[in-house]
Structure 1
Amino acid sequence: MHAAHDDFYDLVIVGAGPIGLTLANLLGPSGLKVLVLEKLDALIDYPRGVGMDDECLRVFQAVGLAEKVVSHTTPHQWLDFRTASGKSFALVRPQTDVFGWPKRNGFIQPLVDRVLFEGLSRYANVNIEFGVEVLGFSEESDGVVVKVEDSSRGQRNVRCKYLVGCDGGRSIVRKTAGIEFGGQTESTRWLVVDLERDPIGVPNAVLVCDPARPFVSIALPHGIRRLEFMVKKGETEEEVTSQAGLHRLLSRVIPSPASAHLIRSRVYTHHARIADDFRKGRVLLAGDAAHLMPVWQGQGYNSGIRDANNLAWKLALVLSGKCDDRLLDTYTLERRAHAKAMINLSTTVGRIFSPTSRILAKLRDVIFSMLNWLPPVRDYVVQMRFKPMPKYEEGVVVPSARSRGASPVGKLFIQPKVRNGDQGIQKLDDVVGNGFAIVAWATNPWDYLTDDAKRAWERIGGKILVARPDTEFEFSTSRVGDNATLVGDMTHQLKDWFSITDVAAVVLRPDRFVAIACGPQELSGAIEALAAKLHIAQKAGD
């Protein structure tokens, strides 16, 4: 990471929060010139988001930083909903790791942000500047001119081909682009209190749904405790954040508030808003700049990381000249619907678990007590199956009627551990790499591809993995062809997946979503259809 010596970049990212830093890390290996601008003088050093899911950790794995990130997480965190009397009426306790990582994790955001920031030092093509405020921008036919100001260089213009606003709910990028930000702001406010040297010490997260004053208690890594209390009507921020106000609220959960070690306290308001479009010309939005959601499901942070994961590979293909910029239209098409679903879920959960009416609270407790007697419903809650998973019906996907049951196209692919020759045992994504890949069961589909399909596949740098039972690995090593990598299915998860879906080959996008699912002999037509969806630029002479 070096100081910028010129003012022209392929991409400018506004905002050095987790979304901007993740996007920059995803684009680092591309060699594109990327500039991250942050108006603050340093990274924010206080906790904000506290919940990280398996999809998010999988993205950090893709940028080679997951092992450093996990040292600041608490895996398999339970979420316990309790009545005012302390009785548990709903317990979310997911233990699955189908995507290669624990489904719920507590984490310390400033420390993870630091890992992402330091990760940029690997890339000479990525620059970051602090203390630089974006004043506005104008779009030209071949790029964007961004007007910025900082104390050392004064006002200047930065030119780029594309601009991405990762600059939060008050995004100057979104406002300047004139993109509407519809939705609502909840009337309720919450006080966040972060304590070090955890005075409670019990693991996991507890939501005490007391209609008199709901509150949340969350154990975080490194001995940090997050407490959140609903602020009542008529209470001011000055009142609840005063020493007397804090001691009064903390006394509900700890016996000696005066001896607690305070990191910070702050009042915030829940928002449920989403941009009408995530793209306008050469300007794109990600994270809170594109959507804001209540904190009840801890998905604001994770949804922003999904944005970065969806957008990065598309920008890389467009900026490298491999694909036409119509590919970027699929970003809104794919991401907005899921972000809206997460907003709706978070809003609904908040209304269920924090009613201020004692009658409604009692009715909720009775209903959930009855549901606990229904194992399928109980498991639906415990395993977090209520969380809407991204499913792309349109965009860079090729629908197929070949699979049995629900089609896997548009869904995130599984990530089991596999055997990979001299590399030993690895997670599947580490074998796949960060580009397009065909994962096929038993047969190398290259043998069935037409010349046109082969050219399209090579144009986007795709690779091929052939999965077979691990028992066949030694015998099969030299029998899949030089253009494919053999992996041993150690856990039988790949065999089971292909058995359930009744397909033999899938094409994975760089973000690990299934773009195609079919048989080896059907793959050529599907790859040519995918090339059209990608708007692959033709080489001279083709």
Structure 2
Amino acid sequence: MTEQADILIIGAGPTGLTLANLLGQNGVSTLLIEARDELIDYPRAVGIDDESLRAMQGLGLVDKVLEHTVPDQQIRIVNGSGKVIAGINPTTREFGWPRRNGFVQPLVDKVLLEGTQRFDSVDVRFGTEAVDLVQDETGVTVTVRSQGRESTIRAAYVVGCEGGRSFTRQKLGIPFAGETRQQRGLVIDVANDPLGTPHAVFGGDPNRGYATLSLPHGIRRWEFMLLEGEDDALVESDEFLHMLLRDHVADPSKLDIIRRRVYEHHARVAERFRDGRVLLAGDAAHVMPVVAGQGWNSCIRDALNLGWKLTSVVRGHAGEQLLDTYAEERRDHVKAMVDLSVGMSKVVTNRSKVTSAARDAAAAVVDRLPKLKAYISGQGFKPMPKYTRGVVLTSPWAVSKSVPVEDGAVPGAGILFPQPRVDGPSGTGILLDDAVQAGWRVFVWNNDPAQFLSQDTQAHLAELDASLVQLVPSVQLNWAAANTSPGVNVLGDPNGVLKSWFHARPVSAVVVRPDHVIAAECLAQDLDRTLQAIFLKGHFRTVRQPVAVS
């Protein structure tokens, strides 16, 4: 007998687990299968950023995730002599959370797995391997093997999230262009941290690059570059590990080593992320060197982008053309993250003494330029998501003599909407995403948004479970709440963060997608027309037409 599901996810890594939680929140019938018998427990990612913590917040899991993090973890980059040549210490909170955090991935992945158990619509199965996949116009049939027996699962859509060696990608014959660098790395995780300091260090030593990070729960990680001629089998040699660590701790023989593993530096992006009713996400779609700490976070961004789109299509709110925008939006940003990771990897693993000397000289110049030094320390070089295609309107701002455009004003469409703390009926100092229900949100500064919308547009927004939100200075909160239209949320801006955001742009209304990306921005009078344009860009339907699996 063939099982049925709206969505079949292959692979219980961070992408698949996050996606399953997102679909579960929306009541979408979801089956997640994993070939292994349990979650991976070997060394992988060690950095979680503010965007991912915001995603965990949306899933209702952030408090449990935070238990396994080191907030605001600083990075010190040193040269072969041990001199600090650069520091990374971003301290801002644009999206409500610390921008750089150390974390223990297996424990956070476990939180995500346990999170799926909240939803009756989600079924997670380990020890279940996909061995064949056939799609047609109405769905996908996947043959799976579990305990030596084969069976079939029929789903409307399949998402391959099973890592760099993805069965799904290989079955579809999708090229995985890029490179695997010859330099390999050795990861060593140690319990009872012998150093105990809270920061991370990247060592650009031309003799042998290294990194070390403080992780939660007394764990210390070291990563060392393996040199030509050093066989992978050396990972099992305590003597070799002690040799690597002798310049880092007084007595390597007393270390409590809990994990050791060799890894390769991959930098690859799939040629396409969608093939009919099958999609690729996470490491199945892209892999990158570990140095920038963006592999895990890129996986979470994929899931956030894809989760609301699959939900919209399965519920019949939008046509399946909406799924094409997933790759349109994500591929360019993923490529930028891969390039950043490769670039940082070359800085740390460079073995040329001449190049290292030039790097150190450049660092000395940067140290004398406060603005550039602050840019690097604040991680300004990290590419933020910026979508110019897909479900975004990038048309020019409306021209009004009453609304001048300041020099340097940056359009908001395609970027993430900030998340400051706001005041509302449920309390003060609440993070914005907690003050408004998840999903589509229409924020209007100092105006009741319902006054600018037709009945048809309001009905369409209600069909999407969208929220209308009036933003005001907190001193106006009580008056505004008593005088706004029924169904409109009123939130106060206690510290002027949102007022400053609108002040910097010639707009007063923004349409924000479920993944916190600004779909469009406009002046209040243009809101109805702008929303109609977004409905068209997203291939949204005005009448609910659920997608059936056949």
State the SS of the aligned residue for 1:297.
coil
Letter in 2 for 1:219: S
Q: Does 1:83 align with 2:79?
A: yes
Aligned ranges 1:361-510 → 2 under 5 Å? 361-402=356-397, 404=405, 405-510=409-514
The answer for the alignment partner of 2:168 in structure 1 is 173
SS at match of 1:248: helix
Secondary structure of 1:167's match?
Answer: coil
Show the counterpart of 2:529: 525
Q: Check the 8 A contact 1:498/1:504 in 2, yes or no.
A: yes
How many Å apart are 1:257 and its aligned residue? 0.8
Q: What is the alpha-carbon distance in structure 1 between the residues aligned to residue 506 and residue 486 of structure 2?
A: 27
When structure 1 is superposed on structure 2, of 443-452 and 14-23 the one drifting more is: 443-452
Please say which of residues 235-244 and 498-507 is displaced more in the overlay.
235-244
Q: Contact between 1:144 and 1:159, CA under 8 Å: does it hold in 2?
A: yes
Q: Distance in 1 between matches of 2:307 and 2:295?
A: 19
CA drift of 1:240 comes to: 4.1
State the Cα deviation string for residues 282-324 of structure 1 (Å, max 9, x = none).
0001110000001110000000100000000000000011110
- Displacement of 1:256 in angstroms is 0.8
Match of 1:202 in 2: 197
Contact preservation (8 Å) 2:315, 2:544: no
Match of 1:332 among 316, 320, 327: 327
Match in the other structure for 1:24? 20
**In the alignment, does 2:67 pair up with 1:71?**
yes
Corresponding residue number in structure 1 for 2:313: 318
In the TM superposition, residue 141 of structure 1 has moved relative to its aligned partner by: 1.5
**Post-superposition shift, 1:359?**
1.0
Contact 1:75 1:106 in 2 (8 A): yes
Deviations 1:127-152 (A, max 9, x none): 01100111020002210000100107
Question: In structure 1, how many angstroms separate the alpha carbons of the residues matched to 2:150 and 2:2?
Answer: 14
CA–CA distance in 2 between the matches of 1:147 and 1:377?
A: 55
- Counterpart residue identity of residue 49, structure 1: A
Which shows bigger deviation, 382-391 or 237-246? 237-246
Q: Please list the CA deviations of residues 342-384 of structure 1 after superposition, one character each: whole Å capped at 9, or x if unmatched.
A: 0011111111232101111011001111111111111110100
Determine the C-alpha separation between the residues in 2 that align with 1:364 and 1:191.
24
**Matched-pair contact (CA < 8 Å) for 1:452–1:528:** no
Q: What percentage of aligned pairs have identical amino acids? A: 43
Whether 2:127 is the aligned partner of 1:131: answer yes
The residue aligned with 1:103 is 99
| Code of the aligned partner of 2:456 | D
- What SS class does the counterpart of residue 401 from structure 1 fall into? coil
Which residue identity does 1:97 align to in structure 2?
R
- Of 478-487 and 510-519, more deviation after overlay is shown by 478-487
The question of whether the paired residues in 2 share the 8 Å contact of 1:400 and 1:517 is answered with no
SS at match of 1:159: strand
456-465 vs 220-229, which deviates more?
A: 456-465
* Residues 437, 465 of structure 1: 8 Å contact kept: yes
Question: 1:216 aligned to 2:223?
Answer: no
Q: 1:515 aligns with which of 516, 519, 526?
A: 519
Q: Which amino acid counterpart does residue 53 of structure 2 have in structure 1?
A: L
- Give 1:386 shift: 0.4
Name the CA distance, whole Å, in 2 between partners of 1:46 and 1:346: 21
Distance 1:55 1:120 in 2: 20
1:414-439: CA deviations, max 9, x gaps?
00011111344311011222210111
Aligned 8 A contact 1:453 1:525 in 2? no
1:227 corresponds to: 222
In structure 1, runs of 5+ residues without a counterpart are none
- The answer to whether the Cα contact below 8 Å between 2:43 and 2:187 also exists between their aligned partners in 1 is no
Equivalent in 288, 291, 299 of residue 296 of structure 1: 291
Q: Secondary structure at the match of 2:359?
A: helix
Task: Indicate the SS of the match to 2:300.
Answer: helix
**Partner SS, residue 216 of structure 1:** strand
Asked whether the 8 Å contact 2:43–2:261 carries over to 1, the reply is no
| Shift of residue 238, structure 1, vs aligned partner | 1.2
Determine the C-alpha separation between the residues in 2 that align with 1:525 and 1:535.
16
Report the TM-score, using the length of structure 1 for normalisation. Answer: 0.97
Given the alignment, which residue of 18, 38, 41 partners 2:34? 38
**Deviating more after overlay: 322-331 vs 454-463:** 454-463
After TM superposition, the score normalised by the length of structure 2 is 0.95
Partner of 2:402: none
Aligned partner of 2:244 in structure 1 is 249
| Shift of residue 540, structure 1, vs aligned partner | 8.6
On the 8 A contact 1:400/1:407 being kept in 2, the answer is no
Alignment check: 8 A CA contact 2:235 2:260 kept:
no
Once the two structures are overlaid, the 10-residue window that deviates more, 496-505 or 42-51, is 42-51
- Equivalent-residue separation in structure 1 for 2:248 and 2:99 (angstroms): 27
Residues 437-470 of structure 1 show CA distances to partners (whole Å, capped at 9, x for unaligned) of 1111110121111233223322322111111111
The answer to whether residue 125 in structure 2 is matched with residue 121 in structure 1 is no
In the TM superposition, structure 1's runs of 4+ consecutive aligned residues that sit over 4 Å from their partners are none
Encode CA deviations 1:379-429: one digit per residue, 9 max, x unaligned. 110100100001010100112322742210000000001111134431101
Q: Could you say what secondary structure the match of 2:140 adopts?
A: strand
Cα distance in 2 between the residues matched to 1:519 and 1:432 = 22
Partners of 1:416 and 1:306 in 2: how far apart? 20
Aligned equivalents of 2:33, 2:87: Cα separation in 1:
41
Instruction: Verify the 8 A CA contact 1:400 1:518 in the aligned structure 2.
Output: no
Segment drifting more, 237-246 vs 331-340: 237-246
Q: State the match for 2:53 in structure 1.
A: 57
Stretches of structure 2 lacking an aligned partner (at least 5 in a row): 399-404, 546-550
Instruction: Give the match's secondary structure for 1:169.
Output: coil
CA distance in 1, matches of 2:496, 2:542: 40
Aligned 8 A contact 1:14 1:167 in 2: yes
Kept in 1, the 8 Å contact 2:420–2:498? The answer is yes
Given residue 324 of structure 1, which amino acid in structure 2 is its aligned partner? G
Residue pair 2:294, 2:337 contacting (<8 A) in 1 also: yes
SS of the residue aligned with 1:426?
strand
The one-letter amino acid paired with 1:293 is M
Q: State the partner residue of 2:401.
A: none
* Corresponding residue of 1:279: 274
Residue identity matched to 2:490: L
Once the two structures are TM-superposed, the CA of residue 117 in structure 1 deviates from its matched residue by 0.6
SS in 1 for 2:67: helix
Amino acid paired to 2:415: K
Q: Which whole-Å CA distance do the structure 1 matches of 2:441 and 2:153 have between them? A: 36
User: Is residue 160 from structure 1 mapped to residue 155 from structure 2 by the alignment?
Assistant: yes
- Give the Å deviation of 1:472: 1.4
C-alpha distance in structure 2 between counterparts of 1:177 and 1:537, whole Å: 30
Matched letter for residue 34 of structure 1? T
Give the count of matched residue pairs.
536
Please give the secondary structure, in 1, of the residue aligned with 2:527. Answer: helix
